[in-house]
Amino acid sequence: MGFNSRILNDVKKLDTVLKERGSNYFFKTHIKGIDSFKGNNDSIEFIEKFINLYNETDTEFHQLDE
């Protein structure tokens, strides 16, 4: 088993994927199986907010409440 790292896009691109595809898709393609994230502070904060909201709800969502 390896260590999986992901280089994050900017927040605008991350937000677009979430809005167009939803939280379940975003989790499967951007979060699941990733051990660490690399990117600018805004992108890291976006991912942290996403993970917190994803873990708090069972409902599909398409945006983070700012």
Q: Over the stretch 14-45, which tens digit does the pLDDT of each residue have? A: 999 999 999 999 999 999 999 999 999 999 99
pLDDT tens across 43-64, in order? 999 999 999 999 999 999 999 9
Q: Cite the DSSP H helix spans in 1-66.
A: 11-21, 23-26, 41-56
**Does pTM top 0.75 for this prediction?**
yes
Helices 11-21 and 41-56 pack at an angle, to 10 degrees, of 30
Q: What residues does each domain of the chain span?
A: 5-56
Give residue for tokens 């942290």.
48
